[in-house]
Structure 1
Amino acid sequence: MTTLTTTPATAAKSAAAPSRSQADGMAIASFVLGLLGTLVLNIVLGPCALTLGTLALTRGTTRRGRALLGLALGAADLLLLAALTAADGTLSWHLG
Structure 2
Amino acid sequence: MRLTAPPSRRTGRRDTEGMAVASFVLGLVGLLVLNIVLGPIAIVLAVIALRRDTPRRFRALLGLGLGVADLVVLAALMAAHGSGSWSVWGG
Q: Please tell me the TM-score bracket, short chain as reference.
A: 0.7 to 0.9
1:93 aligned onto 2:90? no
TM-score computed with the length of structure 1 as normaliser: 0.82
Partner of residue 26 from structure 1, selected from 16, 19, 41 = 19
The AA in structure 1 aligned to 2:27 is G
**Structure (1 or 2) with the greater helix fraction:** 1
4+ residue runs over 4 A deviation: none
1:17 aligned onto 2:10? yes
Aligned-partner Cα distance in 2 for 1:30–1:88: 28
SS at structure 2 position matched to 1:40: coil
How far off its partner does 1:16 sit? Answer: 1.6
Equivalent position of 2:54 in the other structure: 61
Which structure's CA Rg is the greater one? 1
TM-score computed with the length of structure 2 as normaliser: 0.86
Percent identity, please: 60
The AA in structure 2 aligned to 1:93 is W
The AA in structure 1 aligned to 2:40 is P
Q: Which stretches in structure 1 are left out of the alignment for 5+ residues? A: 1-13
CA RMSD of aligned residues (A): 1.3
SS at structure 1 position matched to 2:32: coil
